[in-house]
Amino acid sequence: MRKNSADKDFVASLQKGLEVLTCFGRQHSRLTVSEVARLTAASPASARRSLLTLQALGYLDGDGKRFWMAAKSLLVAHSFLASRPMPSIAQPLLDALSERTRESASLGTLQDDDAIIIGRSTARRSLSTGLGIGSRLPAYCSALGRVLLAGLAPESAETRVRSMARDALTPRTVFKADEVLALLARCRAEGYAGNDGELEIGVRSMAVPVRDRTGGTVAAMSIAVSAERMAFAEFREAFLPSLQKARSTLEKRLYPG
C-alpha cells in the first residue's frame, strides 16, 4: 500500500525510482522511456531521470533507446530472500512436494492486487510456464491470489476485489466481482482455492493458506498440473492431501511450540 505522499518523511523520488525498477518483467524485458512512463503513470521526463539514475547506479543497462535490468538488481531480491525466514524454510518443503508429485510448487504472498511468488520448485516432468521467484499473478483469478484474498477480512477482501482491474485472461477466467467474491467465500469454507485454465488454458492449480499462530493468513502454497494429465477432481484428490501436509509442516517450522 502506498504511503501518503504528504508525509514529511516520504521520499517521492525514491518511490518513483522503485516503481521504474519493478516495471520490468518477462513481458517487459526491454523498455523505452515512453513505455516506462506509461507503465508507471509518470511523465516522460520523470521516467527518463529515474532510468538514467538507475543506470548510473548499475541497476539497469541500456543502449541509448531501451533499458533492461542489470545483474546488480538481483541484490535487492537476494536481500529479501536472505533476510526473511519463510522463503528459506519453505524451499526444501517445496522441493520435496515437487519431487514427490512431479509437478511445480509455489509459495506466494499478497502484494497490492497480485500474488507474488517468493518460493518456487519445478520438477523435471512439471510444467514450465516461465514463472519464478518474483513473478506476479493476478489475485482475483489465480489459486494463490484467491487464498490470500480469502485470508483478509471479508469487508476488506470485497473492497479490494471491487477496486482492482479484472480482465478475462482466457475464456475460462472468472472475473466478475460477485463471482470472485463467491469463490473467496467457498475458499474460506473449504480451506483451498482452485484455478482451472483461468490464467492459461491447459493449466490447473490449487492453493492452501499458510497461517500464523493467530490463524491469520501469511502466505499461500500451491501446486499446478497440466489439464491433459488429469481432471480437476482427480487433481484435487491426488494432490490436495500432499499440499496440505507440506503447508502444515511449514507452519510448524515457522511457528514452533
Give a yes or no: residue 216 inside a domain. yes
Give a yes or no: residue 184 inside a domain. yes
Domain finish residue from 52, 73, 94: 73
Do 62 and 116 lie in a common domain?
Answer: no
pLDDT of res. 2: 46
Backbone angles phi, psi at 208, to 5 degrees: -130, 155
Do 93 and 67 lie in a common domain?
Answer: no
Domain finish residue from 73, 93, 123: 73
Query: Rounded to whole angstroms, how far apart are CA atoms 193 and 149?
Result: 10
- Say which CATH number the domain at 114 has: 3.30.450.40
Give a yes or no: residue 226 inside a domain. yes
Give a yes or no: residue 7 inside a domain. no
Distances, alpha carbon 255 to alpha carbons 86, 89, 150, 212, 251, in Å: 10, 11, 21, 7, 6
Do 47 and 157 lie in a common domain?
Answer: no
Do 119 and 147 lie in a common domain?
Answer: yes
pLDDT of res. 85: 87
Do 155 and 40 lie in a common domain?
Answer: no
Q: For the chain, first and last CA: distance in Å?
A: 32
Q: Are 169 and 141 in contact (CB under 8 A)?
A: yes
Do 215 and 150 lie in a common domain?
Answer: yes
- Digit-by-digit pLDDT tens for the chain (257 residues) are 444 555 788 998 899 999 999 888 767 889 999 999 999 999 999 999 999 999 999 999 999 899 999 999 888 887 877 778 899 999 999 999 999 999 999 999 999 999 999 999 987 544 445 678 888 899 999 999 999 999 999 999 999 999 999 999 999 999 999 999 999 999 999 999 999 999 999 999 999 999 999 999 999 999 999 888 899 999 999 999 999 999 999 999 999 97
Nearest Cα to Cα of residue 233 among 188, 194, 203: 194
Give a yes or no: residue 78 inside a domain. no
Do 154 and 193 lie in a common domain?
Answer: yes
- Say which CATH number the domain at 18 has: 1.10.10.10
Angle between helices 143-150 and 154-163 (to 10 degrees): 130
Could you give the number of structural domains in the chain? 2
Domain containing 165 equals 84-254
Give a yes or no: residue 4 inside a domain. no
Do 96 and 171 lie in a common domain?
Answer: yes
Nearest Cα to Cα of residue 247 among 137, 131, 96: 96
Give a yes or no: residue 79 inside a domain. no
Give a yes or no: residue 39 inside a domain. yes
Do 63 and 147 lie in a common domain?
Answer: no
Do 225 and 143 lie in a common domain?
Answer: yes
Domain finish residue from 73, 101, 124: 73
Do 98 and 190 lie in a common domain?
Answer: yes
Do 105 and 128 lie in a common domain?
Answer: yes
